Amino acid sequence: MTTSKRRARVRAPELHGRAWLNTGGAQVGLKDLRGKIVLLDFWTFCCINCLHVLDELRPLEKEFEDVLVTIGVHSPKFVHEADPEALKAAVERYEVHHPVLDDPELGMWQQYAVKAWPTLTLIDPEGYVVHVAAGEGHVEALRTIIRELVEEHDAKGTLHRGSGPYRAPEPENTTLRFPAKAIVTPGNTILVSDSAHHSIVELEADGETVIRRIGTGERGRQDGLNPSFSEPAGLTLVPNTHGYDVVIADTVNHLLRGLDLETGEVTTLAGTGEQWRDGETDGPADKIELTSPWDVAWWNGGVAIAMAGNHTLSFFDPARNTVERLAGTTVEGINDGPAEGAFFAQTSGLAADGDTLWMVDSETSALRYLRDGEVTTVVGKGLFAFGHKDGDADEALLQHPLGVTVLKDHSVAISDTYNNAIRRFDPETNTLTTIATDIAEPSDALVVDGELVVVASAAHRLERFAEAAVNVNGEAHEVKRPSTDIAAGAVELAVIFTPPTGTKLDERYGPSTRLEITSSPPELIVEGAGVGTELVRALRINDQVTNGVLHVVAQAASCSDDPADEHPVCRLTRQDWGVPVRVVADAPTRLPLLMGGMDEEGPQAT
């Protein structure tokens, strides 16, 4: 047993928030869960990494269903996410099958000293925090620790088996359920990705009458005439030169699928079905791993892919049957310039207009475009600024947009999802206006018979709108995450990572860890910014800057450490942090960030 050596005896703070979901209305306290292993998942429903973790945890929850209770602690980033009805919809949309604590003021976030979405905190049957991990890819480590906890507490008599507090809500039956994207077919019908029904639906031009449903309605990745999908999203028409008319972003399957409109047959075009973590991004389409492709667009003779899962763009070439990186570095943020060095932030909508590829980055609430190898931001100020404001594009604000549509006059309609609005950007005047409001989470728009048809995702339908501009001068917002106080001058930033039991850091091909640190504003860090191989970095913080954000990207490669194993199993753990900081006299001179394990210099829960 190695668990006791790893654990610090830190009592887990009690759970409290505004309300509980998925419990049948019951309140849940840690005292009610004594004897269970409890996994707290700090998440927010805008965050692609959080959605990945929801999927990663499903088999773990099934495996340990009689001893493990997962609780999602919802800690909202955007104003819209603090709306209880929006959270309720998201819990259904993403099939969250465990209790969720609604914590709009981030009280639990502060008590557990969380620094990033997602963060996982494991609590033993006696109510003590035993493990913390930020980011994705921690399931194997969690599985090992949970098995150790089961063994230990079974022997002590402190493990209680049986069902937990989860109570499934009553589902609502609608024709569409959280539709994501839509296109007009050559036959003037509408093709919709019916995301929560895991299928594609063809409608008459009225947007209501169902012609046919393509897909079984169950999660899966089956090809053929009876296909299955997993939360499909983006759709784009392509020339039928290879047996398909439509390319589908099969988001949770991490695949591109092809659809023959005449026969309804579906084929897999790109991806392996495994999520990209690290490694090759260019090569044969059936060998390259994708990561949450959210939208697709036919552009420059191929299919541009919004790779939301790793903040990049890729390109599928049907003629060569290849996938290649189109733009981005995997660092999350806004950075314009040459495509290969650009930063993106969960690109979720694409639209082509000649040589210009328009896009919206949901996490930076940004409208951007790629042209002639250069990326340009039109609207958007960064990861922590958003709002609803019309006017000059330099001052205008969006809130987590998911869709972008090129209109006949070459202006751009933006599905401004968390503002429940459709906005219009006019390149001629460089202005943003609001043309429709009170739409339940619009995620896409298209023009049908001269009318603007909007995918009202949270209303589970398509809605039509006349183009009647309404100017809005709403509030600007910033993410409400509490700042971390740090001292001016010398500060040690330490990323905490303990390889899971039975593994060790992989040094076979060089350094096994990597740490990249930048800041906003750049002058916040006087010394120590940049890339290195150690997970501990000495920084010098500018005493003339009072507030800013530290951007940290860390990764560590670990492999099984059995000497007899000729082919060790290896994993890459990676996490991005955007840590708002306040420079304060006499503040701590050490900033620990937990990627996996426990900090030996002090507890993380307060």
Question: Is there a contact between 302 and 316 (Cβ–Cβ < 8 Å)?
Answer: yes
Alpha-carbon gap, residue 121 to 145, rounded angstroms: 12
- Divide the 606 residues of the chain into consecutive groups of 10 and give the mean pLDDT of each group: 49 96 96 97 96 96 97 96 96 97 95 93 96 91 95 96 94 94 97 98 97 97 98 98 97 98 98 92 97 98 97 97 96 94 97 98 98 98 92 96 96 97 96 95 94 96 76 66 90 91 78 90 95 95 93 86 70 84 94 84 46
Task: Return the pLDDT at 23.
Answer: 97
> Kind and range of the H or E element at 87?
helix 84-93
Residue 342 lies in a domain: no
Asked which of 119, 137, 171 is the last residue of a domain, the reply is 171
DSSP states along 566-583: SS--EEEEEEEEEEEEEE
Secondary structure of residue 138 in the 3-state scheme: coil
Where does a domain end: 437, 459, 480? 480
| pLDDT tens, position by position, 136-161 | 989 999 999 999 999 999 999 999 99
- pLDDT at position 549 is 87
Do residues 95 and 113 make contact, with C-beta atoms less than 8 angstroms apart? no
Tokens matching residue 135? 């980011």
Residue 495 covered by a domain:
yes
What is the value of pTM for the model shown?
A: 0.88
Q: Same domain, yes or no, for 517 and 580? A: yes
DSSP H or E run through 52: helix 48-63
- Is 549 within a domain? yes
Residues 62 and 45 in one domain: yes
**pLDDT at position 283:** 97
For residue 339, being part of any structural domain is answered with no
In angstroms, rounded to a whole number, what is the distance separating the alpha carbons of residues 227 and 209? 22
- Alpha-carbon distances, residue 157 vs 142, 160, 194, 425, 450 (angstroms): 22, 8, 48, 64, 69
| 337 domain residue, yes or no | no
Residues 261 and 144 in one domain: no
Q: What is the pLDDT of residue 2?
A: 36
Number of structural domains in the chain: 4
pLDDT of residue 279: 85
The SS3 call for residue 159 is: coil
Q: Is residue 250 part of a domain?
A: yes
Integer Cα distance of 251 and 75 in angstroms: 24
Q: What's the length of the chain?
A: 606
Q: Are residues 12 and 80 in the same domain?
A: yes
Looking at residue 12, its amino acid is A
166 and 34 in a common domain: yes
Contact 327, 306 (CB under 8 A): no
Give bridge partners of residue 84 from the DSSP assignment: none
Count the Cβ atoms, other than its own, within 10 Å of residue 209. Answer: 12
- The reply to whether 417 and 495 lie within a common domain is no
Question: What SS3 state is found at 534?
Answer: coil
Count of helices and strands (H, E) across the chain: 5, 45
Q: Which two tokens stand for residue 163?
A: 């069902």
How far apart, in whole angstroms, are the C-alpha atoms of residue 347 and residue 364?
9
Asked if the structure places residue 333 within a domain, the reply is no
* Domain of residue 516, residue span: 483-606
Residues 142 and 160 in one domain: yes
CATH assignment of the domain containing 157: 3.40.30.10
Residues 126 and 202 in one domain: no
Residue ending a domain, among 171, 198, 219, is 171
Concatenated DSSP letters for 449-479? TTEEEEEEGGGTEEEEE----B--EEEEEE-
How many CB atoms neighbour CB 474 within 10 A?
Answer: 14
Q: Is residue 334 part of a domain?
A: no
Q: For residue 105, what are its two tokens? A: 């003021």
pLDDT digits (tens, 9 = 90+) for 428-441: 999 999 999 999 99
pLDDT value of position 476: 67
Contacts 24+ apart (CB under 8 A), 300-304: 300/352, 300/355, 303/236, 303/238, 303/247, 303/256, 304/350, 304/352, 304/357
Write phi, then psi, for 278 (nearest 5 degrees).
-165, 160
Looking at the fold, whether 22 and 114 belong to one and the same domain comes out as yes
- CATH number of the domain at 279, please: 2.120.10.30
For residues 315 and 385, membership in a common domain is answered with no
Query: Cα(289)–Cα(592) distance, rounded to whole angstroms?
Result: 32
Domain match, 14 and 125 both: yes
According to the model, what pLDDT value does residue 604 have? 44
Residues 502 and 475 in one domain: no
